[in-house]
Structure 1
Amino acid sequence: MPRHELSAFEKHIRRIIAQNLKSASWGMTQAELGAKSGIPTSTISGYFAQRSTPSPGNVQRLADALNMPKSAIDPRFDDHLFEKQPGIEDLYKQLSPNRQQIVLHVAQEQLTEQRQQS
């Protein structure tokens, strides 16, 4: 159970990771992948079922076990990931004025919280 509601981006990342792992480990059981990577089978199962997101260390272990770059498993390691995503300004401009106010309000709350934690 996540500690917070996952964003659409986080859900999308989990879906891609699951798809990439299923494709890269085709013909291998989750137990075999776990043994090869040193990651518990229950954890591997969580990645496949999109219940959890692998840590950077586990992405590396999986990449090593599957003999592939980390970016082939987890798109967050792709140097061009954020170039493919629309910028916040582009998204903001597409929103109605009412929704733009919501975005501004949330951003202000986040900035206040960040400053208080520093």
Structure 2
Amino acid sequence: MMEKEFDRDLPLKKQISENIEALRKLKDFTLIKLSEESGISKSTLSDYKNCKTLISPGNVEKLAEVFNVPKSAIDPSFKSKGISNLIPVEPNFVKIPILGVIACGDPILATENIEGYTYEFAEYLPSGEIFALKAKGDSMEPTIMNGSKVLVRAQSDVENGEIAAVLVNGDEEATLKRVKKQDGIVLLMPDNNSYEPIVVSPSNPARIIGKVIRAIMDFD
């Protein structure tokens, strides 16, 4: 059996893939949209995403123009290229945990609750602890679509009318609802009129864990 050839460029390919994906999602571009804007074929972009090929200098330039970032924001190897007295401005990406099922009694960001990570520009995020959830169901449509990635800032309360991530069902399930406070009563309101509000009570407790700051929908 032949030994698999070692790919010495794989770490760089992975970094480039992560950079392109973070920038693409920040722009809310599908691969097809990015292909149209950059003039790079969708199959080539898919190869970059899946770390199959190393990006060419020409395509680095095309993507940098589309995203309006330095070339080094696409390909870190460009740090050492170009005029020596220029200092490249690196994008400040933040690694944000994506939560799955919340284990009862565990801290929200416990390792066992995290199913993956997403990357966002720090300058577009508020201060504080940020995590992400995947929206399930259509109770918050059209505001938040089923399958959206939702960014949440950890906090224990929100203003009246704001959308929050709320723990229900014994602190094991996180739901996204608009919080309405009225005459000492807290209601968890869906934006979809097909659903009924949830009344928070001692027999039906709920706990706010964060304020929704952004919802992102991927189409591929």
Please give the range of the TM-score, normalised by the shorter of the 2 chains. Answer: 0.5 to 0.7
Runs of at least 5 residues in structure 2 that lack an aligned partner in the other structure: 82-220
**TM superposition shift of 1:5:** 4.2
For structure 1, which runs of at least 5 residues remain unmatched after alignment?
Answer: 81-118
Q: Distance in 2 between matches of 1:49 and 1:34?
A: 16
Percent of residue pairs identical: 36
What SS does the corresponding residue of 2:47 show, helix, strand or coil? helix
After the TM superposition, list the runs of 4 or more consecutive aligned residues in structure 1 that deviate by more than 3 angstroms: none
What does residue 130 of structure 2 align with?
A: none
1:19 aligns with 2:18: yes
SS at match of 1:13: helix
CA RMSD of aligned residues (A): 1.5
1 CA distance for matches of 2:42 and 2:71? 19
Please tell me whether residue 70 in structure 1 is matched to residue 75 in structure 2: no
**Could you say which residue in structure 2 is the equivalent of 1:84?**
none
TM-score of the two chains, using structure 2 as the length reference: 0.33
Q: Normalising by the residue count of structure 1, what TM-score does the alignment of the two structures yield?
A: 0.60
Higher helix content, 1 or 2 = 1
Q: How many residues align?
A: 75
- What are the superposed Cα offsets for residues 87-115 of structure 1, whole Å, 9 maximum, x if unpaired? xxxxxxxxxxxxxxxxxxxxxxxxxxxxx
User: Which structure 2 residues correspond to residues 1-118 of structure 1 after superposition, within 5 A?
Assistant: 5-7=6-8, 10-26=9-25, 27-79=28-80
Larger Rg: 1 or 2? Answer: 2
1:31-53 CA deviation, whole Å, 9 max, x = no partner? 11111000001100110111111
Per-residue deviation at 1:6? 1.7
Q: Name the SS of the counterpart of 1:78 in structure 2.
A: helix
2:24 maps to a residue whose letter is: S
